[in-house]
Amino acid sequence: MGNYLNGGNSGFASVRKGIYVDKTQMIAFINSTLGTADKLTCVSRPRRFGKSFAAKMLCAYYDKSCDSRQLFEGLAISRDPSFEKHLNRYNVICFDVTWFISSVDEIEDTVRSLQERIISELREACPSAREADTLPETLAEIYKITNEKFIFIIDEWDALFREAKEHKRLQEEYINLLRGLFKNTGFTDKVIEAAYMTGILPIKKYGSQSAVSDFQEYTMLSPEPLEQYVGFTESEVKDLCETYGADFYEMKRWYDGYSADARESVYNPNSVTQAIKKRRFGSYWTRTETYEALKIYIDLDMDGLKEAVIRMLGGEKIRIMTGSFQNDMTNIECKDDVLTLMVHLGYLAYDAAEEAVFIPNEEVRQEFVLAVTKGRHKELAKLIQNSDQLLLQTLNGNEAAVERVIEEAHKVVSSPLSYNKEDSLRSTIRFAYLACLDEFIEIDEMPSGTGFADMVFMPKKGSAKPIILIELKWNKTSESAMRQIKERDYPHAFKNYGGDIYLVGITYDADSKKHTCKIEKYSM
């Protein structure tokens, strides 16, 4: 049993001892690819989305040097027809690229050290094999003697592209090693039974082509059919909440939102687990990717990135084109590249049907607010701070103060080209009332009475705050907005609420560029 060749099952054994969600059915998927044209799999996920857990699971299952039957008893894979056929039947080469980076004195030596250490273990296991200079050549020599194929499991495969951004020669050396292992058709088909790589970024592109094109890729943009292994599914989170006595609805608000196709919700698994362990809902994001990294991208402000971030903080989705992204962190040419990178890093979620990105949940929203507040966009930081005052002045019925804050927000939130568009008013209101998201749930176009209320802020469970109902009008008076609220009986939807409702009519005049506000307190 070595460090890289047939390392055993201790890693998965430790995973089983903690809060564990059964993801072993993924093994059945990998089993279906063994020895086929689809045997090379690359799965990219943000940090703390279970990539290393999956790698440990696969090592424990395939590694011929150990007996892992007991570890898998009662799990989903144990009931799959392929379970017995492949359990502990293969030579497995497993390594974490980040470990090699940290173990060398100079990062330029990473690929050389990686090959030398793995070759050393291979020669120790098969001393009769002829000496060879490279890892692919060594594997070919051992295969001649043993006639046994290898399974590769590579964790953090893209670490060199993230940690050695400027070392182009090193990156090319690494890519050439991967090509030697997985793009040499004669060698790969003969010696490699399968490969499973995990990382944060998809496989790097040179121009429009993938550097290792034979891999089947499953990313945050296109996870199918492995979407249930991106993170925790909603049914899994419900089970965890029931088992450990956690509030499912708060769990959903804080950590849901990563599904690409809206068929089933996907949750950040590390954050869910931490919330259960700590018995506290909050942001666990800074333990992995700090707000500093997010702030750097926001401060780039490419092609109106600042406005896009504002609109997303206000709850909107932003359409993007993902095709130009080169799958690295250096060739960032436009706003869409930045937003695509944020999807892969887990800061944004991607709606494949709408080809749009959005802030997925409360945890990430707080990181965005922190990054904007501490970034170089001081006017945004001021607006976020003013949001608390806006909520207070709304509840105080101070119409003039509300008008001033909204007018200031409109100037910052909207670009000159979109300032006089109706959608910009809704974006402005969402952003201006950002403080509401701490204690309220926002509902757009809520059916009520004989119409639809433009915007409703419902107090969260346990909050003493009142309902805030907002009607927006363009080129009309705030009195007409208030009249519509009453004539269409929007408060009727809250007849059983029993508390106060604040009716707010907000208008914008495109000619004068002035906002007006009308506020009335309504008791059911």
Q: Give domain status of residue 517, yes or no.
A: yes
**472-482 pLDDT, tens digit each:** 888 888 898 89
Residue 91 and residue 54 share a domain: yes
Residue 75 and residue 191 share a domain: yes
- Span of 100-114, 196-210, 303-317, 329-343 with lowest mean pLDDT: 196-210
Residue 214: per-residue pLDDT: 84
Residue 264 and residue 201 share a domain: no
Residue 440: per-residue pLDDT: 81
Calculate the alpha carbon distances from 338 to 154, 199, 299, 301, 344 in Å. 26, 18, 11, 9, 10
Residue 485 and residue 427 share a domain: yes
Residue 285: per-residue pLDDT: 74
- Span of 105-119, 306-320, 415-429 with lowest mean pLDDT: 415-429
Helix (H, G, I), strand (E, B) or coil at 15: helix
Mean model confidence pLDDT for the chain: 85
Average pLDDT over residues 101-121: 93
Cβ proximity of 182 and 225 under 8 Å? no
Residue 420: per-residue pLDDT: 45
Residue 130 and residue 236 share a domain: no
**425-473 pLDDT, tens digit each:** 777 787 777 767 777 888 877 776 677 778 888 888 777 888 999 988 8
Residue 263 and residue 185 share a domain: no
β 318-319/356-358 pair status: antiparallel
Q: Report whether pLDDT(179) > 60.
A: yes
Q: Give domain status of residue 3, yes or no.
A: no
Residue 112 and residue 42 share a domain: yes
Residue 411: per-residue pLDDT: 74
| Higher local confidence (pLDDT), 472 or 204 | 472
Residue 208: per-residue pLDDT: 44
Q: Give domain status of residue 2, yes or no.
A: no
**Which of 312, 342, 376 finishes a domain?**
376
| Higher local confidence (pLDDT), 254 or 332 | 254
Residue 492 and residue 368 share a domain: no
Residue 242 and residue 165 share a domain: no
Residue 300: per-residue pLDDT: 63
Average pLDDT over residues 147-164: 91
Average pLDDT over residues 12-32: 94
The token pair at 436 is 């509401």
The token pair at 176 is 């050439």
Residue 389: per-residue pLDDT: 81
Return the exposure string of 179-207: e unless at least 16 CB atoms fall within 10 Å of the residue's CB, then b: bbbbbbeebbeebbbbbbbbbbbbbbbee
**What DSSP designation does 466 have?**
P
**475-520 pLDDT, tens digit each:** 888 898 899 988 888 888 887 777 789 999 998 888 888 889 999 9
**What DSSP designation does 192 have?**
E
Band (pLDDT 50/70/90 cuts) for residue 303 is low
Residue 209: per-residue pLDDT: 46
Q: Report whether pLDDT(268) > 90.
A: yes
Residue 295: per-residue pLDDT: 66
Q: Global pTM?
A: 0.81
**281-294 pLDDT, tens digit each:** 988 876 444 456 66
**Which of 376, 409, 431 finishes a domain?**
376
What would the DSSP string read from start to end of 298-355?
Answer: HHH-GGGHHHHHHHHHTT--EE---TT--SSSS---SHHHHHHHHHHHTSSEEETTTT
Neighbours of 397 (CB within 10 A): 15
Residue 19 and residue 159 share a domain: yes
Contacts of 444 (CB under 8 A, 6+ apart): 315, 454, 455
Structurally, how many domains does the chain consist of? 3
Residue 465 and residue 369 share a domain: no
Residue 195 and residue 58 share a domain: yes
- Span of 340-344, 414-418, 447-451 with lowest mean pLDDT: 414-418
In whole angstroms, give the CA distance from residue 452 to residue 446.
5
Q: Give domain status of residue 85, yes or no.
A: yes
Domain limits at 470?
379-523
| Higher local confidence (pLDDT), 254 or 499 | 254
Residue 377: per-residue pLDDT: 55
Q: Give domain status of residue 207, yes or no.
A: yes
The token pair at 193 is 């039974």
How large a percentage of the chain has pLDDT more than 90?
43
Q: Give domain status of residue 5, yes or no.
A: no
Calculate the alpha carbon distances from 163 to 97, 198, 217 in Å. 11, 16, 22
**Which of 376, 407, 426 finishes a domain?**
376
Q: Residue 91 maps to which CATH number?
A: 3.40.50
Cβ proximity of 369 and 309 under 8 Å? no
Residue 380: per-residue pLDDT: 63
Q: Give domain status of residue 76, yes or no.
A: yes
Neighbours of 352 (CB within 10 A): 15
Cβ proximity of 191 and 184 under 8 Å? no
Three-state helix/strand/coil letters over 129-181 = CCCCCCHHHHHHHHHHHHCCCEEEEEECCCHHHHHCCCCHHHHHHHHHHHHHH
Q: Give domain status of residue 384, yes or no.
A: yes
